[in-house]
Amino acid sequence: MIPGGTPTSRGLDCMIVGGHKCGTSSLKEYLSAHPGVATHPQLEFTAFSRKGHSEAGEAEQLERLTGAGGGRLTLAKHAGVYAEPFALDRLRLASPGCKLLLILRDPVARARSAFRMESLKGVKQEPFGEVMSRVIERQGQKDWRAHVYLQMGLYGKWLEEILTRFDEDNVKVLFLEELKADPEPSYRECCQWLGLDPAFSPDLEARHNVGADPRSALLARALKRLQSERNPLKRATRRLLPESAYLRIAEMARNANRDERDGGEDPTAIDERLREYFEEDGELLSRRLGRDLPWRAVRSAP
């Protein structure tokens, strides 16, 4: 039971909690292909997030997923939960025995991918280097870009937040670099950790929700307006179509405008400043995990 007396089901068995733009969608697709797993149709399971949160809505989403599980392992995914203490608290209260999967990548590459995603979503932005320089210089000021592009890459900090709420044995950290280089060992390791038969093999070559630029910035902004909750056309469409169908149509429209080629600026100009920003937190994460980080190992190799 969560605070306020709202009854819940047995709770989630596992949740992919992040990191943001670190391969969470691909990891969800790989694991949810397993016949022993039940998951949700939408890209993100937002039941625990502060934005628009209500206990009734949280309980309804949980009941919908766990009720459809049929004895299978229930898996949810929300890439931003790891950097949202409120959501971590709600998850712990609703599903105290939940196992957490935290997948990470080079924080500089993650920042670039997040920047591209926001452009694809229709956000008008200056070039990446200019935006990063500005948010680094104005860290004390309130700016959503500082959180999304910089602070969400402070993995050591956020892992500490997770471990104050969940038992260390119920938290598993993966790395996108290792999953991409050789996906099968990471997938099988996850299956064994979750108690799933590791003999089942999904398509581990497929990539999902990959960072991309918009083919047309004007079209991206038009789609953003169409998907606004204030848009009467969106409200009417959602009354006529099941939620899963509406979500598929919205995703298809955005995918049609995707350009996965990296046509951005030379990365060397801003990368050094970003690596300095993430250095101390990277040391914290490395010590906590007792291992070197894949992106740091690559840079230090002769």
Kindly state the DSSP code that residue 97 receives in the 8-state scheme: T
Coil, helix or strand for 272? helix
Beta strands in 146-233, from DSSP E residues, in sequence order: 171-175, 213-214
State the number of CA atoms in the 13 A half-sphere of 135 facing the CB: 22
Count the residues in the chain: 302
CB distance 36 to 73 below 8 Å:
yes
Q: If one looks up domain 14-215+257-291 in CATH, what number appears?
A: 3.40.50.300
Using DSSP bridges, classify how beta strands 213-214 and 258-259 pair: parallel, antiparallel or unpaired. Answer: antiparallel
Token duo for residue 193: 């950790």
Angle ∠(100,16,39) on CA atoms, nearest 5: 115
Other beta carbons less than 10 A from residue 226's beta carbon = 14
* Contact in structure between 246 and 237 (CB atoms under 8 Å): yes
Radius of gyration of the chain (CA): 19
Q: Sketch the domain layout of the chain as residue ranges.
A: 14-215+257-291, 216-256
Peptide bond connecting 97 to the previous residue in cis, omega within 30 degrees of 0: no
- 3-state DSSP assignment of residue 257: coil
pLDDT tens-place values along the chain, 302 residues long: 333 333 345 689 999 999 899 999 999 999 999 999 999 988 899 999 998 899 999 999 999 999 988 889 999 999 999 999 999 999 999 999 999 999 999 999 999 999 988 888 788 889 899 999 999 988 767 889 999 999 999 999 999 999 999 999 999 999 999 999 999 999 999 999 999 999 998 988 877 666 555 555 665 555 555 555 565 655 566 666 665 565 566 666 655 655 666 655 556 779 999 999 999 999 999 999 999 999 986 555 44
Q: Which residues contact 260 (CB under 8 A, 6 or more apart)?
A: 210, 211, 212, 213
Long-range contacts, stretch 285-294, CB < 8 angstroms, 24+ apart: 285/104, 285/155, 285/156, 285/159, 286/156, 288/156, 288/159, 288/160, 289/173, 293/175, 294/106, 294/175, 294/177, 294/178
